[in-house]
Amino acid sequence: MPRVILELCTRNKTNQLIEQFQKDVDEFARRGLRSLAVAIEEDDNGFQLIGLLPIYDPPRQDTKETIQRAIELGVKVKMVTGDQLAIAQETGRRLGIGDNMYPAKVLKDRPSDIDDLILHADGFAGVYPEHKYEIVEKLQNMGHMIAMTGDGVNDAPALKKANVGFAVADASDAARSAADIVLTEPGLSVVVEAILSARKIFQNMRNYSVYVTSMTVNLLVGYSVLLFAFQFDFPSFMVNKTKENFSFSKHLLSYLFLRFLIMLQC
């Protein structure tokens, strides 16, 4: 963080310089830019701040579309980042996540409504690994299924804690080891495709269960009607070969055989 470099500087460090430094960093952050402080040291007389470099780290081109598709599928997307709050809010607005974000300080203060705050927040900024772990844990305690994506060592604890942890294509070895699924292609669009495929499988299983259950009930009801209609006394299929009983037996067997074939097709 640029403030760390500022703290190391001892030469020509005035209050005016510190104030201007803070204004520039905040201005860059509001525009979604990270700041890199540059300092030099001469003759072991300490460091002197000489400037700030803005760095633009844009999201992937398909990130906004992927997030919108996930939201349309009912997935609540939250951004948890170590960047400054202003950077996180600007990035959230650009990606359609929202800018209702909080600094990591609120997690340390632990207000009485911390669970509700975490649930309805769009994200958190300036967090450390223990904060990410705590966010995942509290959401799980509220009964939610949590999936998390990450790529660094600092994401490993939360990836391990989440119900499903995704390590992106260029993730570190620690993140890969902690994750449940390792993506082999850049981007997160494959996650949305996985959600769609999983829901199709679940719907097919549900349809199968409903169909089998309905056909089983249909067979049992039909057979029960026959039992009550003939007072639990079916004519013999093998011994009594009168024309009337043979006709009844043929129709009964046809009915049961048809139901049996329907069950097999399920």
Q: Tens of pLDDT along 83-104?
A: 888 889 989 998 999 989 999 8
pLDDT at position 213, please? 86
Contact 133, 162 (CB under 8 A): no
Q: With bands split at pLDDT 50, 70 and 90, how would you rate the model's confidence at 137?
A: very high
pLDDT for res 203: 94
What pLDDT does 260 receive?
62
Looking at mean pLDDT, say which of 38-47, 117-126, 240-249 comes out highest.
Answer: 117-126
SS (H, E, C) the chain: CHHHHHHHECCCCCHHHHHHHHHHHHHHHHCCCEEEEEEEECCCCCEEEEEEEEECCCCCCCHHHHHHHHHHCCCCCCEECCCCHHHHHHHHHHHCCCCCEEECHHHHHCCCCHHHHHHHCCEEECCCHHHHHHHHHHHHHCCCCCEEEECCHHHHHHHHHCCEEEECCCCCHHHHHHCCEECCCCCCHHHHHHHHHHHHHHHHHHHHHHHHHHHHHHHHHHHHHHHHHCCCCCCCCCCCCCHHHHHHHHHHHHHHHHHHHHHHHC
Q: How large is the average pLDDT for residues 234-256? A: 51
- pLDDT, tens only, 50-80: 889 988 888 888 889 999 999 999 999 999 9
What is the Cα–Cα distance from 152 to 27, expressed in whole angstroms? 27
Contacts of 125 (CB under 8 A, 6+ apart): 81, 82, 83, 84, 85, 87, 88, 89, 101, 102, 103, 104
Residue with more model confidence, 119 or 250: 119
pLDDT band at 246 (very low <50, low <70, confident <90, very high): very low
**Terminal alpha carbon distance of the chain:** 62
Query: What pLDDT is recorded for position 155?
Result: 92
- The yes-or-no verdict on residue 146 having pLDDT over 50 is yes
Q: Is 48 exposed, middle or buried, given 0-12, 13-18 or 19+ CB atoms closer than 10 A?
A: middle
The overall average pLDDT reported for the chain is 84
pLDDT at 113 exceeding the cut of 90: no
Per-residue confidence (pLDDT) for residue 188, from 0 to 100: 87
Q: How far is CA 76 from CA 120, 171, 201, in A?
A: 9, 23, 22
What percent of the chain has a predicted confidence (pLDDT) above 70? 84
Mean pLDDT value across residues 259-264: 60
Q: Above 90 in pLDDT, residue 247? A: no
> Whole-angstrom Cα distance, residue 30 to residue 227?
79
pLDDT at residue 211 in the model: 86
Whether residue 249 is predicted with pLDDT greater than 70 in this model: the reply is no
| 63-188 placed in CATH 3.10.105.10 | no
Instruction: Please compute the mean of the pLDDT values over residues 234-249 and round it to a whole number.
Output: 49
Q: Which pLDDT value is given to residue 262? A: 60
